[in-house]
Amino acid sequence: MSTNTATNWLKPRLAKLWQGLREWCGDAAYEKYTQCAARQGSEPPLTAAEFYVEQMNRKYSRPNRCC
């Protein structure tokens, strides 16, 4: 297998793996939000900073019953 063929084979797989990792850890959440907001089009989407604050509020406003 030549180097060019190996690169052409490996690049899309690494890109898909990277995207999956970003989605798993939540790093791609804002991009998904903006895509969804663009489809709905009812109101302007939040900025990245506003989205982050909203996510933190949603995460930490629930009761935590760990103890």
Domain ranges of the chain: 3-60
pTM exceeds 0.75: no
Range picked from 5-9, 25-29, 44-48 for highest mean pLDDT:
44-48
Tokens at 49, concatenated: 């900073």
Rounded CA gap, 22 and 51, in Å?
17
Q: Which residues of 41-56 are buried (b: 16+ CB within 10 A; e: fewer)?
A: eeeebbeeeebeeeee
Calculate helix-pair angle for 29-40, 48-60, nearest 10 degrees: 110
Share of the chain above pLDDT 90, in %: 40
pLDDT at 51: 93
